[in-house]
Chain A
Amino acid sequence: MTMLQDRPTDTKLISKVPDGALADKWDNFKANAKLVNPSNKRKFKVIVVGTGLAGASAAASLAELGYRVDAFTFHDSPRRAHSIAAQGGINAAKNYQGDGDSVSRLFSDTIKGGDFRSREGNVYRLAQVSVNIIDQMVAQGVPFAREYGGLLDNRSFGGAQVSRTFYARGQTGQQLLLGAYQQLSRQIGLGGVRLFNRCELVDIVVIDGRAAGIVTRDLLTGELTSHAAHAVVLATGGYGNAYYLSTNAMNCNVTAAWRAHQRGAYFANPCYTQIHPTCIPQADETQSKLTLMSESLRNDGRVWVPKNFDETRAAHEIPEQDRDYFLERLYPAYGNLAPRDISSRAAKRLVDKGLGVGPLKNGVYLDFADAIGRLGRNVVEERYGNLFEMYERIAGENPYDQPMRIYPATHYTMGGLWVDYELQTTIPGLYAAGEANFSDHGTNRLGASALMQGLADGYFVLPYTISNGLAPLLNKTVPGTDHPEFKRVETAAKARFQGYLDIKGTRSPDFFHRELGKLIWNYCGMERDRNGLEKALTEIPALYSEFKTDLRVTGTGEGVNQTLEKAGRVDDFFQLGTLMCKDALTREESAGGHFRVEYQTEEGEAVRDDENFCHVAAWEWTGDENNATRHEEQLSFESVQLATRSYK
């Protein structure tokens, strides 16, 4: 076992990874987990918040087992969750191609991809259950791509040398989510799940150290309601919208996770955010979100910027000698296929220098002229036609005639609520699944692994671990919504929303969100350094105090009020943003998506510090967002050797 640090793991951060060889841990857990007998399951109520891949699959599976499930979504329908936007695919160690894949290989690819900052036991289990996910989804009718013989097709993806990615055109996330949604719908129809739509979690109720339920706000009436349960699952997604501009959906937010944090759940690695290199750059100040263009485009597109700072010619008029194909120049071995973090940083450095392209000089070219010349327009159209169309719809330029413009954007957040092997947070009875937890991707998630993790957590992990947590509660009384703590939390939530309305300042929630996003992007985005982060830690609180005195929310607390909803979400992003910067400041190393300028080689590669930072940083709320306490869970590696990533 490689144990690099002799620093202790905090007592609250016991991972509970079972004993035994890596391959036996999950079996050992299941063999020893406590069960609830079928006729007793209906005595337990489980709340699931969020109906994306993790939430819908968990709610459906738990209801099938016989638990009484209440599912909550702030959307009008469970089918809207942002899992739906995932394009590329889902990884699974099926080895249907016979190309050398295995559970151990998917495991080691994921650990390496995460730059050795994830927990071995969890990641191995993820690789193990990946094969069950594909079986499950095919049985549900997910129309995965097939070969002519009728068997499932696979494609390859970044960070792997095998073809293990299953896909449904460019809409894999949509098809998987609809599969889980349909299974959930069946349970709703059967009465196993009660669905609360257009209903947002506003707080979590903890009584005697245990999660006792939640308080929600009905988005149509503004009414606050308490819900009690034996266990609460948060499957509420990531916090990429802290940056304002991201590839997340407009309503993605951190509120559920943040409220859990304020109620005692530790928040792990908030600075681990993934920046995706190929998004369409911002067009103007009105822009509300960024759209991802599939990474597969880099297989045939060449990335370049003009060499001259004062270049004014159209792209096709710029001769070869005046172009800088910088990825090919800097990373000859990988060229335009250099990994996400590396490519993103290279583009940023040139744009920062003033070499960007487009009306706002905020992008780099992704040029298909060579590919069209080499393969013919037909082949390019066959491969990327739908993406080209999407680009044209958004950017208004035809990528067959002029190069695409791309720029990196926030895409996914690896950090999240700290959970143990059972996906339980530091609040007993409160679980976190999918992107909302921190557990499986370390500092960098591999492509096609988010869908895998969401479904693994919901289908194949939580149903086992929750029964282990519930069994000891059999025939014990748990607090109901008549407990005074529920009323107290409800009253506080009501006051919070009334507070936003009462400020009566001059600026909209969107104004503050935009300004906050700029700060976090500039100081805690693709590159971070001590100076910038320290600056952020004074500028964010300053903007936050302006928010508290100058916010304007029109309308009332009753009925639909999207401005009020937004105000609450932005409030939480302010506090989270502070923690992100604090986490980035205290992690004095570079690893995966967390790149500290001070810690790099001469060639600009990330330099990890395994001596001092081979741990998860988990933050404890102290009542003041500027003074969170940092705790550590030490990471140990039994089966992989810590190595330096290199792409030269």
Chain B
Amino acid sequence: MTRTVKNLTLKVWRQNGPDDKGHFETHVIDSITDEASFLEMLDVLNERLIDENKEAIVFDHDCREGICGTCSLMINGQAHGPQRATTTCQLHLRSFNDNDTIVIEPWRASAFPIIKDLMVDRAAFDRIVESGGFITSPTGGAPDANLIPVPKPVADAAMDAAACIGCGACVAACPNSAANLFVGAKITHLNLLPQGQAERYKRAEAMVDEMDEHFGSCTNHGECSAACPKEISLDVIALMNKDYRSAKFKNRKQLSRK
């Protein structure tokens, strides 16, 4: 088996804190194998920077299996890089050609302020979930798990939406920095299930209203779904909009009291 070795030029965004202006820094990576993952290439670069007594590039990452949603990166302007349905941590250098120049940037969205270098703050996602992205079910009060049958197609569709890893690629890819795919996925997951019905409309309303506090508006570009490493469908946005509209009608009484 032959092992391919590549030379790459990286233009990496460096920004020493939220208030720093930031700039691109160019690094040449010599003879790295195809077997290395994108983040392993950054590991190699960081070890070299430490060798040169320089500060390592800060980037978020953890599981490196494409499931925790911690890693990010705009790679040549694409969220998570060129490979379909693949997070940055699962991207390998075989997706690039010898002597390529690769531009590496953080997620760019005002709701995701840059902390340092390639690391951003995605806490707005947590605020949205806190506002209603749950089924109220205190520990110990649950009925038997098989009490309420859930049709398989419903369970499967809920699972499709629940596969979201909360990485923020949808927001980064969106020209308006909208979070509709993320929020739609959570609303769809919970609103499809029988267990989620009691809070269905309250949930849709609370989450969308919270989302609007942080993110831009959706104009149906579909970039979000194309960038999504879990290939969440645009359908989730349709269901979210439908439930939000219903919520506004159903909750008119409460609204008038505000």
Contacts and interface: CB of A to CB of B under 8 A. Distances in A.
B101 interface: no
A140 interface: yes
B39 A132 contact: no
A89 interface: no
A283 B68 contact: no
Nearest to B87: A393
Given A186-B134, A188-B130, A508 B47 contact: yes
A209 interface: no
Contact of A57 (B3, B67, B139, B145): B139
B145 A135 contact: yes
A169 interface: yes
A197 B123 contact: yes
Contact of A185 (B115, B121, B126, B150): B126
Contact of B40 (A135, A181, A287, A359): A287
Given A135-B142, A249-B62, A288-B39, A393 B92 contact: yes
Interface residues of B, number: 83
A396 interface: yes
B86 interface: yes
Contact of B138 (A64, A81, A182): A64
A149 to B, nearest CB: 6
B128 to A, nearest CB: 9
Interface string B31-56: 01111110111011011011101111
A414 B1 CA distance: 38
Interface in A89-128: 94, 96
A183 B56 contact: no
A143 B64 contact: no
Contacts of B241: none
Given A141-B195, A148-B152, A152-B146, A393 B86 contact: yes
Contacts of B78: none
B215 interface: no
Contacts of A393: 83, 86, 90, 92
A592 to B, nearest CB: 26
B130 A186 contact: yes
A523 B151 CA distance: 52
B256 interface: no
A394 interface: yes
A82 B62 contact: yes
A11 interface: no
B14 interface: no
Given A77-B125, A143-B162, A552 B50 contact: yes
Contact of A94 (B115, B121, B145, B158): B145
Contact of A288 (B40, B54, B67): B40
Interface stretch (A417-425, A559-567, A607-615, A621-629): A559-567
A343 interface: no
Contacts of A563: 46, 50, 55-56
Contacts of B190: 141
Contacts of B159: 143, 145, 168-169, 175
Interface string A555-573: 1000111110000000000
Interface string A126-153: 0000001011111111011111111110
Contact of A76 (B122, B149, B152): B122
A452 to B, nearest CB: 14
A189 B53 CA distance: 44
B155 interface: yes
Interface of A: 57, 60-61, 64, 75-82, 84-85, 94, 96, 132, 134-141, 143-152, 168-169, 171, 173-175, 178, 181-183, 185-186, 188-189, 195, 197, 220, 249-251, 283-284, 286-289, 291-292, 358-359, 390, 393-394, 396, 459-460, 463, 506, 508, 510-511, 552-555, 559-563
* A-B pairs with lowest CB-CB distance, top 7: A150-B149, A283-B35, A189-B130, A139-B142, A182-B134, A135-B142, A143-B159
Interface of B: 1, 3, 16-17, 32-37, 39-41, 43-44, 46-47, 49-51, 53-56, 58, 60-70, 83, 86, 90, 92, 94, 115-116, 119, 121-123, 125-126, 129-131, 133-146, 149-152, 155-156, 158-159, 162-163, 165-166, 189-190, 193, 195-196
19 contacts: A76-B121, A77-B122, A84-B67, A85-B65, A94-B146, A136-B139, A136-B140, A143-B156, A143-B158, A185-B126, A185-B129, A286-B36, A287-B35, A288-B40, A394-B92, A396-B34, A396-B94, A460-B140, A563-B50
